[in-house]
Structure formats: structure tokens, C-alpha cells
């Protein structure tokens, strides 16, 4: 008997029939003698419908009230799933975050989980009940409902697994695992049976949208054995097959076999880069440039500052393409004169491609192989950034697919 947390996304909960399928799957696990906690998202479209109503009424909506409103989507889908389980003959009960209790801080619309009480859940599990707990939400120290932000149900599920010391956290989703790269870009992409937590973190942050990045951080921090697998398979498929499907996120580099140097190629298509040319090279200049950008809630990703030359330097960074014009206007209007920069230029049609793998720690030559591969395809590298387990380059958007395919082949990701 194992204690398992299941998480189902909005698509998996998207209709009466799909909710019934989720119930069939959970019932199968229960009948096999396992204890199951299920964390469902709101039915697909519901959170957008609720936030749309709120925006219609008040475009500058209070985050506290948005959370009161948006949190109801998961409460409904949790109640419906409990009803579906009862109909399957499985004793079940649903709880909202505040009933568990899931304690969070007070950062409305993007709260962080602080702790989860396990007494109520364990009592129900030990009484043979399936427990359905709303994802995406909790309650702050003042009794206000909070939500964890988009994709927060992944984080809820992993945090629930950590609090209950669950044997495994199964993230059921509409893809069947984590791939070496996006199969829509590279048809040779291959599903990984395993990926390390650190690689998953880089893949998630680099645009592979399988898991919310905070859930991966949580899994890493609390060593939660997490598996990403498909919710679209036959809910009654044999349990031993289902338990081996998808991609397992592990916490140890596999020592039993020769680890691949690179696990995957991640990419982010919609990037933009901005360069501040001829900036006097003095302390505080980076803050003077990036401070106003951060204040405007624009995410800055890669940052590069060249070696200064005769007391002036160039400063380049990337932002999401959607924020490009806003960032550029901001710098030209409020910053350029102030820091005496010569010129501000940019390019809104760039993409980022990264190779990721814990194997590169012990293998030299990954960078040179990457650069040679791109060079052979005639792709110019605009920016480079590295971490211990990944190398990212910014290139012209039009070469992105070509770069992904060439790197996928060069690092032999199509071969097991």
C-alpha cells in the first residue's frame, strides 16, 4: 500500500465525462489498496470566465477579491470529482484549501504555501476515503483566501505530497511526459523515462510548459518523487503499466548506466533583446538600467555586460517579446538621458535555445559542440549565457527550429 497524490489539470477536468474518467482512474488505484489524495484544477475555461467577469466590473480589481472569486473554480471541480468518486462506489470527500488547512502568505494572486496540516487528510485516508483537495489555493493568517497563480495546482499537488510524505506525486496532464525537445519542432523528439530535478527546473524555466516551475522547486526542496504522465490513456489500463509510464523526476544522477551528457533542448520563441550602447562604466549602472524595468513588472532574463573599453561599455538584456516596446520606451524616456547612454537599440525577433543536462558537469566540450553545430548551420549567436547544467544562446528567431533540430541530432537525443 502506498500513499499517492494525483493531480489533474483543467483539460482533464473539462467535462462531466472527463471528470467521470478521472474518478474511474482514482477508483482503480483505491481498489488496488492505495491511499489517494487528488488535487484537481478548475474545469478548463472556468478561471478565465471568472476573472473576465471581475475585469468587466473593475479593470483595476483588488487582488484579495480576485482570489475570493477565482478560488471557487477549484472548489466546484473538487466537489464534482468527489461526487463522481462516490458514484464509482469509492468513499470520498472534498476540501477547499482553508478546510485542510493549506497555510499561505498574504501575497494575493501569487501566494506561497507555508505549511499544510495533515491531520484531517490522514484521518480520512486511514478511514479508507479518497480525499479531493482544491488545487491553486490556500488561506492566509487572517483567514483570507489566497491563490497561487497560474499553474498553481501543480505546486499544490507537490506540496500536498511533501506534507503527507507521499510515496509519489503523479501529475496527470495532456502530454505523456517530458520530451528531449518539443515534438512539434523536432519530430525525432523522444520521451524521457527519467529526468533529474535540476534538469527539469532548467527545462521548465526555459519554456517547456509541462510543469509550473514553482512545483519543480518544491519537489526539489522536499525530495518529492514526481511523475508526469498522460490523463488521456484508458483510465482502466493496468496499474503496473501506468506506474511506469510518463517521465519520473529523480533526485539522483543515475549511476547504474552511462548518463547522457544532454537531456534535452529547451527553447523560448518569443524573446526580445535590448542593448544600451556607450554607457559610462561606473558602479550602479546596471541597477539604474534594470531598476525601472523591474518596477514596471517586466521580467528580465539574460543579462550581458561587455568588458568596458575606454570607460564606456555596452549592456544587453532580454525581455519577453510582449514587453519589448514598453521596456524600450521606458529606457528612452526615463533612463537614457539620466545615465548618459549613447544609444538604445533592440531586436524584437529573437529566440533562446538551450541545451540542458546534468551530464555536462563531467563532460567537457558541450559548449564547443553546441557552437560548432550552430556555426555549421550558418546560425549567428547573438548572446550566450551559461549555468552549471545548461548553455543558452540567443539567435535570430527565424533559425530557431533549425537550431533545435540540429542540436537534437548533434547530441544524439533521438537515440536512447
- Per CB under 8 A, 380 contacts its own copies: no
Binding residue (CB under 8 A) for its own copies from 30, 36, 37, 84: 84
Contact call for residues 153 and 7 (beta carbons, < 8 A): yes
Looking at 11, 24, 86, 288, which residue binds its own copies (CB under 8 A)?
86
74 among the known binding-site residues?
A: yes
Interface with its own copies, residue 147, by CB under 8 A: no
Residue 10 annotated as binding site: yes
Judged by beta carbon, residue 8 or residue 315, the one nearer its own copies is: 8
The angle that helices 46-57 and 72-87 make with each other, rounded to 10 degrees, is 150
Nearest to 290 by CA among 277, 278, 280, 276: 276
Site string for its own copies, 218-237 (x = CB under 8 A): --------------------
CB count within 10 Å of CB 295 equals 9
The annotation status of 134 as a binding-site residue, yes or no, is no
Q: Is 145 in the site for its own copies (CB under 8 A)?
A: yes
Separation CA 411–CA 183 (nearest Å)? 16
Question: Dihedral sign, CA of 217, 1, 138, 320?
Answer: positive
Task: Give the nearest distance from C-beta 130 to its own copies in angstroms.
Answer: 12
**Which residues within the stretch 12-31 sit at the binding site for its own copies (CB under 8 A)?**
16, 19-20
Residue 114 counted as an annotated binding residue: no
Q: Is 184 annotated as a binding residue?
A: yes
Q: Is 18 annotated as a binding residue?
A: no
According to the annotation, is 174 in a ligand binding site? Answer: yes
Cβ atoms of residues 177 and 116 within 8 Å: no
Minimum CB separation of residue 19 from its own copies in Å reads 6
Q: In the set 31, 45, 48, 53, which binds its own copies (CB under 8 A)?
A: 53
Q: Give, in order, the Cα–Cα distances in Å from 5 to each of 129, 160, 176, 376.
A: 13, 7, 17, 47
86 or 367, CB closer to its own copies? 86
Nearer to its own copies, 145 or 203 (CB): 145
Residue 15 CA to its chain's centroid (Å): 24
Antiparallel, parallel or unpaired: β 3-8 and 35-40: parallel
Residues 6+ apart with CB under 8 A from 211: 151, 154, 171, 200, 204, 226, 228
- 109 close to 147: Cβ distance less than 8 angstroms: yes
Q: Which residue has the cell 483588488?
A: 62
How far is the C-alpha of 77 from the C-alpha of 49, rounded, in Å? 14
DSSP string, 202-225: HHHHTT-TTS-HHHHHHHHHHT--
Told to check if 367 binds its own copies by CB under 8 A, we report no
- Whether residue 189 is preceded by a cis peptide bond, meaning omega within 30 degrees of 0, is no
Nearer to its own copies, 144 or 308 (CB): 144
Least distance to its own copies, CB of residue 57, Å? 5
Cβ proximity to its own copies, 71 vs 215, nearer residue: 71
Residue ranges in 308-327 that form contacts with its own copies under rule CB under 8 A: none
The single-letter DSSP state of residue 245 is -
Q: Which three cell numbers stand for residue 108?
A: 494575493
Q: 50: closest CA among 75, 33, 32?
A: 75
For residues 54-83, which are near its own copies according to CB under 8 A?
54, 56-58, 60-62, 64-66, 68-69, 71-72, 75-76, 78-80, 82-83
Number of residues counted as binding its own copies (CB under 8 A): 37
Longest Cα–Cα distance in the chain? 77
Where does this chain touch its own copies (CB under 8 A) — which range of 84-92, 230-238, 283-291, 366-374?
84-92
Nearer to its own copies, 18 or 390 (CB): 18
According to CB under 8 A, which one of 5, 36, 96, 260 is a site residue for its own copies? 96
Among 261, 234, 264, which residue's Cα sits nearest to residue 247?
Answer: 264
Part in contact with its own copies (CB under 8 A); list of ranges 89-97, 370-378, 379-387, 402-410: 89-97
Q: Residue 144 interacts with its own copies (CB under 8 A)?
A: yes
Residue list, annotated binding site for substrate: 47, 74
User: Which residues contact its own copies (rule: CB under 8 A)?
Assistant: 16, 19-20, 50, 53-54, 56-58, 60-62, 64-66, 68-69, 71-72, 75-76, 78-80, 82-84, 86-87, 93-94, 96, 98-99, 143-145
Residue list, annotated binding site for ATP: 7-10, 173-174, 179, 184, 209-210
Amino acid at each position: 500500500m502506498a500513499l499517492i497524490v494525483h493531480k489533474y489539470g483543467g483539460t482533464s477536468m473539462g467535462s462531466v465525462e472527463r471528470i467521470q474518467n478521472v474518478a474511474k482512474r482514482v477508483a482503480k488505484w483505491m481498489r488496488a489498496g492505495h491511499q489517494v489524495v487528488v488535487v484537481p484544477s478548475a474545469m478548463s475555461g472556468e478561471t478565465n470566465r471568472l476573472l473576465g467577469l471581475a475585469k468587466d466590473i473593475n479593470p483595476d480589481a483588488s487582488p484579495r477579491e480576485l482570489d475570493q472569486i477565482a478560488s471557487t473554480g477549484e472548489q466546484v471541480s473538487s466537489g464534482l470529482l468527489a461526487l463522481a468518486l462516490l458514484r464509482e462506489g469509492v468513499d470520498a470527500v472534498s476540501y477547499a484549501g482553508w478546510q485542510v488547512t493549506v497555510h499561505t502568505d498574504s501575497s494575493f494572486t501569487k501566494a506561497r504555501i507555508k505549511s499544510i496540516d495533515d491531520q484531517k487528510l490522514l484521518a480520512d485516508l486511514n478511514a479508507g476515503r479518497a480525499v479531493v483537495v482544491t488545487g491553486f489555493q490556500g488561506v492566509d493568517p487572517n483567514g483570507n483566501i489566497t491563490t497561487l497563480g497560474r499553474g498553481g495546482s501543480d505546486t499544490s499537488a507537490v506540496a500536498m505530497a511533501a506534507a503527507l510524505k507521499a510515496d509519489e506525486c503523479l501529475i496527470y496532464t495532456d502530454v505523456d511526459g517530458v520530451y528531449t525537445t518539443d515534438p512539434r519542432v523536432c519530430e525525432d523528439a523522444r520521451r524521457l523515462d527519467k529526468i533529474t530535478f535540476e534538469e527539469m527546473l532548467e527545462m521548465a524555466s526555459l519554456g517547456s510548459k509541462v510543469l509550473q516551475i514553482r512545483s519543480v522547486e518544491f519537489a526539489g526542496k522536499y525530495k518529492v518523487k514526481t511523475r508526469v504522465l498522460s490523463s488521456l490513456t484508458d483510465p482502466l489500463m493496468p496499474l503496473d503499466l501506468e506506474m511506469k509510464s510518463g517521465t519520473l523526476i529523480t533526485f539522483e544522477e543515475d549511476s547504474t548506466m552511462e548518463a547522457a551528457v544532454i537531456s534535452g533542448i529547451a527553447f523560448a520563441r518569443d524573446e526580445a533583446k535590448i542593448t544600451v550602447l556607450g554607457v559610462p562604466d561606473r558602479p550602479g549602472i546596471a541597477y539604474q538600467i534594470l531598476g525601472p524595468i523591474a518596477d514596471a513588472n517586466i521580467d528580465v532574463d539574460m543579462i550581458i555586460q561587455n568588458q568596458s573599453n575606454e570607460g564606456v561599455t555596452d549592456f544587453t538584456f532580454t525581455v519577453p517579446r510582449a514587453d519589448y516596446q514598453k521596456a524600450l520606451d521606458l529606457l528612452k524616456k526615463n533612463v537614457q538621458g539620466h545615465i548618459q547612454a549613447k544609444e538604445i537599440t533592440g531586436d524584437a525577433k529573437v529566440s533562446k535555445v538551450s541545451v540542458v543536462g546534468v551530464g555536462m558537469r563531467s563532460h567537457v566540450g558541450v559548449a564547443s559542440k553546441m557552437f560548432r553545430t550552430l556555426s555549421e548551420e550558418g546560425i549567428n549567436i547573438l548572446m550566450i549565457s551559461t549555468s552549471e547544467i545548461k548553455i543558452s544562446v540567443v539567435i535570430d528567431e527565424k533559425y530557431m527550429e533549425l537550431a533545435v533540430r540540429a542540436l537534437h541530432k548533434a547530441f544524439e537525443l533521438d537515440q536512447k
